[in-house]
Amino acid sequence: MPHIVWKTFPLVWVTWGEESIVFNKSSGNTHLVNSMAAKILSLLQVQPRSAEEICQSIATEMQLDADDEILQRVKVVFETLDYLGLIESLPQ
User: What is the per-residue pLDDT for 65?
Assistant: 75
Answer yes or no: CATH 1.20.120 is held by domain 5-87: no
User: What is the per-residue pLDDT for 1?
Assistant: 56
Q: d(Cα 23, Cα 91) in Å, to the nearest integer?
A: 24
Q: What angle do CA 24, 81, 14 make, to 5 degrees?
A: 45
User: What is the per-residue pLDDT for 53?
Assistant: 93
Q: d(Cα 41, Cα 29) in Å, to the nearest integer?
A: 15
Selection from 63, 66, 8 nearest residue 37 by Cα: 8
User: What is the per-residue pLDDT for 22?
Assistant: 96
User: pLDDT for 18-72, tens place per residue?
Assistant: 899 999 999 999 999 999 999 999 999 999 999 999 989 988 887 777 778 888 9
Spans of all domains in the chain: 5-87
- 81: pLDDT strictly greater than 90: yes
**From the centroid of its chain, how far is CA 1?**
21
pTM value surpassing 0.85 = yes
Q: d(Cα 88, Cα 4) in Å, to the nearest integer?
A: 10
